[in-house]
Structure 1
Amino acid sequence: MFRKNVTDIFFDLDHTLWDFEKNSALTFGKILNENGLDVVLDDFLEVYAPINLEYWKLYRENRVSKSELRYQRLRRSFDHIGVTVSDEMINILAHQYIQHLSSFTHLIPNTVEVLDYLAPKYKLHIITNGFQEVQEKKLRKGNIHHYFVEVINSETAGVKKPHPQIFEMALKKASVEPENALMVGDNLEADIQGAISVGMKALHFNAHRESEHQVCQMINDLIEIKSIL
């Protein structure tokens, strides 16, 4: 399906290559313990995960700022599990979370094998809505930075996926036409529909076990890319 025309592959980072859930859990385990907070980690993460996704959607839609996202996702999570935490501690945790998150380096299964397979055949790039200061560290500490020619993030682009401008900027920086470009990502709205809107091909990595759809081809494991490309 994609072999014929594709020359450049653009990947999302979090939840697609970098194992956000596992690394985030390890980060919270570290900072909650070091700050002496009596919280059952699994209970906290169970409520934090959907709240975090909700606030990232608001952030993509420019309905909250970066600082509001970082504060509110923690405030609402602690309130939900009935743990009293001061605003000062929330701000400390928000800072420490960003500080330590990229120190954990777990990747989605088969990431390196797939990148090794693709790198000799295609130019590889990243398009991410993540914060610039964090995403660069994730790539370098995860030892996958060298696979990518261009790394485009929403802070330098001035807009977030699925806005067409970030995809157009990525295509321009990579010097590739949309019909020769493939986007691989976990978020149906931000990654897949955003890429399709500018004429790119798209492959949905079903990291969140969503139901089948007809928007584009879907894979459940990155290793499936080897049979597609």
Structure 2
Amino acid sequence: MTNNIKHVFFDLDHTLWDFDKNSGLTFGKIFDLHKVEINIEDFLSVYEPINLRYWKLYREEKVTKAQLRYGRLKEAFDTIDFSASDKLINDLSKDYISYLSSFNHVFEGTYDVLNYLSKRYTLHIITNGFEEAQEKKLVASNMKHYFETVTNSEMVGVKKPNPKIFNFALQNANAKPSESIMIGDSLEADVQGAIDVGLDAIYFDYKNQNYYHNYKRITNLSALQDIL
């Protein structure tokens, strides 16, 4: 399967960087700072699916960056009947981005896999995340040096699965689609998006709950050492 592969492209959030864990810790910190007295588990249980839905809308150009940052918090607070002023939501939104990269849990096996792959392939990132946040995450988690190029959606003006971001990343990496593979947690944005422009792809099903599809699938990163 991988004899001709020279370039490995990774998504960042939910693929290498443990977004759910780091996000939860960030909310704990900023709720303490702003004296927001709600049960963090109750909040996260409603926030996480709302956040995923807003990111889907953002990928589809249906909400702006500002609308995503405000709307996901507003809707989560409304769902749990917590009264939050616009000022509080905006302050939390700003502090969330500021503090998010201060927590740097990565998925189990991340560094071992990157050490292994970096000796055999040229590694890259393609992310829909915001440029300032993604750069901080890569530096603070000590991952940046593994990657030859980092392509984010704000550079290109479109988001995965738009072919333009993959083509931009390939050009940036001086890589051919036939020599490249994409690894990510989103079937739509990462896997099908990559396949549509001629890359091979592996779906990282980190929650181990999505069995029913025809894509190559792993449930832990260490499995990449058997594949690549």
Instruction: Say yes or no: TM over 0.5.
Output: yes
Give the superposition deviation at 1:213: 3.6
Given the alignment of the two structures, is residue 100 of structure 1 paired with residue 109 of structure 2, yes or no? Answer: no
Query: How far, CA to CA, are the matches of 2:188 and 2:43 in structure 1?
Result: 27
Secondary structure in 2 matching 1:151: strand
Query: Which AA in structure 2 matches 1:201?
Result: D
In the superposition, the TM-score normalised over structure 1's length comes to 0.98
- What is the deviation of 1:85? 0.6
Equivalent residue runs for 1:13-28 within 5 Å? 13-28=12-27
Alignment of 1:126 with 2:111, yes or no, is: no
Q: Which position in structure 2 is the counterpart of 1:87?
A: 86
Tell me how far 1:59 sits from its aligned partner.
Answer: 0.1
Deviation string 1:19-72 (CA, Å, 9 cap, x unpaired) is 000100000000001111111000000000000000000000000000000000
Q: Note the C-alpha offset of 1:211.
A: 2.2
**Structure-to-structure mapping, 1:1-229, within 5 angstroms:** 1-2=1-2, 4-229=3-228
Name structure 1 gaps, 5 residues minimum: none
Q: Cα offset for 1:214? A: 3.9
Q: Helix, strand or coil for the counterpart of 2:126?
A: strand
CA contact (8 A) 1:58 1:64 kept: yes
Q: CA separation in 2, counterparts of 1:22 and 1:96?
A: 17
Equivalents in 1 of 2:102, 2:36: separation in Å? 21
CA distance in 2, matches of 1:19, 1:223: 15
- Contact preservation (8 Å) 1:126, 1:150: yes
- CA separation in 1, counterparts of 2:87 and 2:152? 30
Q: Which whole-Å CA distance do the structure 2 matches of 1:174 and 1:202 have between them?
A: 17
Secondary structure of the 1:184 match is strand
SS in 2 for 1:195: helix
**1:139: Cα distance to partner?**
0.2
Aligned equivalents of 2:136 and 2:57: distance in 1?
24
- One-letter identity of the residue aligned with 1:91: N
Contact 1:186 1:208 survives alignment (8 Å): no
Root-mean-square deviation over aligned CA pairs = 0.7
What is the CA deviation profile of residues 92-136 of structure 1, one whole-angstrom value per residue up to 9, with x for unaligned ones? Answer: 000000010011111011000000000010000000000000000
Comparing 212-221 with 188-197, which one deviates more in the overlay?
212-221
* Consecutive unaligned residues in structure 2, runs of 5 or more: none
In the comparison of the two structures, how many residue pairs are matched? 228
State TM-score, norm by structure 2. 0.99
Q: Shift of residue 215 of structure 1?
A: 3.4
Question: SS state of the match for residue 49, structure 2?
Answer: helix
Where 1:29 maps in the other structure, the secondary structure is: helix
Indicate the SS of the match to 1:54.
Answer: helix
* 8 Å Cα contact 2:10/2:184 also seen in 1: yes
In 2, the alpha carbon distance for the partners of 1:217 and 1:154 equals 25
